[in-house]
Structure 1
C-alpha cells in the first residue's frame, strides 16, 4: 500500500469515528495501522514487529487487536453489494445461469468484468427462496443448496441433475477464486493462526475483506486484481449501514430437508425442460 493510500485509510477511520484516540497512549493511529498491515500482508511475528517499532510484544498485540476492531467496523461499509436490486451481467447474460440463478448477494469482493462475491442465489420459482451455494460437505437443507450426489434415476433425471451440478459448480468456482485472491494478497491466511483467539481470527478475515475492497476501489489496476480478472475471463470461456438481506429461518427438520430436496429437483427439472424445448 502506497503512502498516500495508507494516510487516506487512516483518515477514513478517523472521519467515520471508527478510531477513538486514547489520551494516555503514545501509539497513534498511523503506527497502529502500520503494525496491523505488516502483520496481515507479511505475516510478521509479534516479536519481529516489537523489534521494528520498538515496543513490547504486549503493546504490539494490544494495538493490533485494537486496529482490527476499528477496521472491522469499516467492513460494514465496504463489504456489501453495490445494489441489492441489480443482477450482475455475467449472470443475466449467460444462458448457463439465467434465469435459474437470479442474483449474487452479500459482498462484492473482486473488481472487474467478473466480480467475485459470496453468493446467496435467488431462483425465480415458487416463493423466491434464498440460499447459499455450497458443496457436498454440507447437508442440502433450507438456506444451503448443494449439488446432487450419485447417478440413480432415469436418463432424463440423471441429465437434469448433471446440468444442475454444472451450473452450480460454475457459480461456486467464483467463491473458490475469492479465497485464492485473499491468500495471495494476505499471506497470514497461508498458515495456521494458533496464536490468535477465535474472535481475533474472525476479525482478521473481515478486516482483510475490507482492506481488499478498499484497495480495489482506489487501486483498480493492482497486480492481484488484473491477474484474477484474467483468470476469471479464462474460466468463463471453458448508506454506509445499508440494511442487509433479512436472514431466513433455517428448517432442519426431516420434513424441511425433504421439501428442500424437492425444491432442488424442481429447479433441475426446469433447467432440463428449458434446454430441450
Structure 2
C-alpha cells in the first residue's frame, strides 16, 4: 500500500473517532432549547390583543394599566427598547415573575429567552420600578419614628408592619429569625385610607421589634364607621404578588427591593387599574363588615337604612374636621418658625 494510502486511512480513522466522541458527549448539532412557535414578542401581542382577562391573570393588571406602565417607563427614560426585547416584554418578564413567584427556568420557557437574558431584564426592570417609586410612594428614612410616629400631621395615616419570608445566609440567620422562629424581614409601612402605601421601609431584620400602630385616631371614636385598611392592604398586596409569601432566592438587599417594588406597583395599580378585582374584593368584605357592625350596634331591626354604600355623613364630617385640624396645625407650626 502506498504511503499516501496509509495517510488517508489514518485520517479517516481520526475523523470517525472524533465523530463518535462528539456524538457521545453531545457536541455538534443540537435542538434549540427555546423553540416554541410562540415567542416572547408574540406572547405580549397575545396578551394585549387577546381576552382582557389573560393580561390580568398573568401580569396582575389589565391591558390599559399595563400599557400605561410601559409608556410611563419609556416617557420618564427609565427603560428603553433593546435590539431584541421591547419595553413591554421586559416589564412582562418582571411582572410575571412577581405575580407567580416563578423561577428563572419557567420564565425562560414562557418568553423563549436564555436564563441570562431573563435575569438581566428582571434586574433592569426592578431598578427602574424603584426609580419610579418617588412618583408613587415616599420611602421613609431610617429615623422613621421622628418623621411619622411623633408628627401630628401624620395622624390621618396608619403605621404598621408585616413580616415577609426571607432567604438568609446561615451566619446571619439569628438576626432575621422573628419571635415565631421564622426567617423574615420586617417591613414598616404607612397606609392611607385609600389603601395606598405612603411610606415603606423594607429590609429590617425579622427579630426587630414591631412598631406601634396608631389606631386611636379613628378606632377609639365610636361615632364614626371608618375602617383602617392596613391588614387588608397587606392581604391585597400578598395575594397579587405571591413572591412575598415565600422566601425568594435572591440576596438580602434584592429581597428588600422586591418588597418595595411590589408596594410601588400596588399604588400604581390603585391609581390606573380601574375595576380591579383584588380591590373590589376588599370593598365587598368591608361592606359585609359594615353591615355586621350596624346589626350589632343598631337599636332597631329595620333593614331600610342603607349602610353599605360608602362613608356616612358623620364619616365625611369627621374627615373634614380632621383635615381642617391638620391644616391648622401645619399653619401654626409654620407661623412659629
- TM-score normalised per structure 2: 0.45
RMSD: 3.8
Match of 1:216 in 2: 270
Match of 1:230 in 2: 284
* In structure 1, distance between residues paired with 2:251 and 2:123: 10
Match of 1:199 in 2: 253
CA contact (8 A) 2:191 2:230 kept: no
Quote how far apart the aligned CAs of 1:174 are: 2.8
> Matched residue of 2:135: which SS?
helix
* In structure 2, distance between residues paired with 1:224 and 1:28: 28
5 Å-filtered alignment, 1:23-38, equals: 26-38=84-96
5 Å-filtered alignment, 1:85-234, equals: 102-104=155-157, 114-117=193-196, 138=209, 144-145=211-212, 167=220, 174-193=229-248, 195-234=249-288
* In structure 2, distance between residues paired with 1:11 and 1:229: 29
Match of 1:43 in 2: 101
Match of 2:75 in 1: 15
CA contact (8 A) 2:138 2:198 kept: no
* In structure 1, distance between residues paired with 2:285 and 2:69: 29
* In structure 1, distance between residues paired with 2:122 and 2:266: 18
Match of 1:86 in 2: none
Q: Whose radius of gyration is greater, 1 or 2?
A: 2
- Structure 2: which 5+ runs fail to align? 1-60, 140-151, 160-188, 200-207, 294-337
- Structure 1: which 5+ runs fail to align? 82-98, 121-136, 148-162, 239-277
* In structure 2, distance between residues paired with 1:58 and 1:209: 26
Match of 2:136 in 1: 78
* In structure 2, distance between residues paired with 1:185 and 1:15: 26
What is the count of residue pairs matched by the alignment?
179
CA contact (8 A) 1:72 1:207 kept: yes
* In structure 2, distance between residues paired with 1:50 and 1:185: 22
* In structure 1, distance between residues paired with 2:103 and 2:73: 25
CA contact (8 A) 1:80 1:108 kept: no
- TM-score normalised per structure 1: 0.53
* In structure 2, distance between residues paired with 1:108 and 1:28: 35
* In structure 2, distance between residues paired with 1:119 and 1:4: 24
* In structure 1, distance between residues paired with 2:109 and 2:259: 26
* In structure 2, distance between residues paired with 1:191 and 1:39: 13
1:80-110 CA distance string (max 9 Å, x none): 59xxxxxxxxxxxxxxxxx9x8321798868
* In structure 1, distance between residues paired with 2:196 and 2:88: 30
Quote how far apart the aligned CAs of 1:68 are: 0.7
Quote how far apart the aligned CAs of 1:7 are: 2.1
CA contact (8 A) 1:10 1:30 kept: yes
Match of 2:185 in 1: none
* In structure 1, distance between residues paired with 2:212 and 2:110: 48
Q: Which has the higher contact order (CA 8 A, sep 6+)?
A: 1
